[in-house]
């Protein structure tokens, strides 16, 4: 994962920084505190080279043996945990699809759109699966997600151009419809409330015209 800086939240999370940690590839993190330990790794809060505070996940597979022993790392337990997390992410994606289908069905009056779209706003970290001409297909996770919570599943986000494996953090707004792509039937978001309203309105008009035919 790339580092994401969250200001005051990190200051509170890193109240006991003391260690230096070096990964197998030679990367050293200064003034490290450890939290959120799971079978696959843990979160570290550290001081970047340019100063400030940052937080990221470090996997046990990227750490020397002494760290694995200290935290009782088990490849079998890690594999079981990873499978559970992947299954939960898939469920979240299905739940999101159902929620958006219901959301669209309830938007009978145009005046409801503004409030409904704003209520559906998400503050997320996008983890890009692939770029598209209009944005990207990505995993959407809460800015403060853990291994098992805060995962919204796969989404399409218009206006965010991030290559495969890259990350983007910010607010996204639901356009109120889903699109079938190679990754599945995914809900569409945009970074602009105004654009989301425009797209939702256009989608409603298309549906109304189809019903009249």
Residue-wise pLDDT for 1-48, tens only, equals 333 333 333 333 344 446 889 999 999 988 888 877 888 888 888 887
Is there a single domain that holds both residue 102 and residue 189? yes
Is the CB of residue 199 less than 8 Å from the CB of residue 190?
Answer: yes
Q: How far apart are CA 62 and CA 46, in angstroms?
A: 17
Containing structural domain, residue 36? 8-73
* Boundary of a domain, candidates 25, 40, 73: 73
Is there a single domain that holds both residue 99 and residue 156? yes
The pTM for the full model equals 0.50
Is there a single domain that holds both residue 207 and residue 103? yes
Is there a single domain that holds both residue 101 and residue 203? yes
Is there a single domain that holds both residue 114 and residue 63? no
Is there a single domain that holds both residue 62 and residue 164? no
173-198 pLDDT, tens per residue? 988 888 889 988 899 999 888 888 88
Residue 128 covered by a domain: yes
Q: Which of helix, strand or coil describes residue 202?
A: helix
> What is the average pLDDT score of the chain?
77
Is there a single domain that holds both residue 20 and residue 96? no
74-80 contacts at long range (C-beta below 8 A, 24 or more positions apart): 74/39, 77/39, 78/39, 78/40, 80/39
């Amino acid at each position: 994962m790339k580092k994401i800086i969250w200001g005051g939240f990190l200051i509170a999370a890193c109240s006991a920084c003391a260690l230096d940690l070096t990964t197998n590839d030679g990367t050293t993190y200064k003034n490290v505190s450890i939290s959120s330990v799971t079978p696959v790794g843990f979160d570290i809060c550290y001081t970047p080279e340019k100063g400030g505070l940052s937080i990221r996940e470090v996997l046990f597979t990227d750490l020397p043996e002494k760290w694995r022993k200290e935290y009782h790392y088990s490849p079998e337990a890690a594999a079981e945990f990873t499978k559970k997390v992947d299954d939960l992410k898939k469920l979240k994606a299905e739940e999101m699809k159902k929620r958006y289908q219901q959301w669209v069905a309830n938007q009978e009056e145009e005046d409801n759109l503004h409030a409904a779209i704003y209520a559906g706003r998400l503050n997320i970290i996008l983890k890009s699966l692939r770029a598209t001409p209009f944005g990207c297909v990505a995993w959407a996770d809460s800015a403060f997600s853990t291994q098992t919570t805060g995962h919204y599943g796969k989404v399409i986000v218009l206006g965010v151009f991030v290559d495969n494996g890259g990350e983007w953090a910010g607010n996204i707004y639901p356009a109120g419809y889903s699109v079938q792509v190679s990754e599945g039937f995914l809900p569409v978001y945009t970074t602009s409330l105004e654009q989301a309203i425009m797209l939702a309105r256009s989608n409603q008009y298309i549906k109304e015209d189809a019903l009249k035919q």
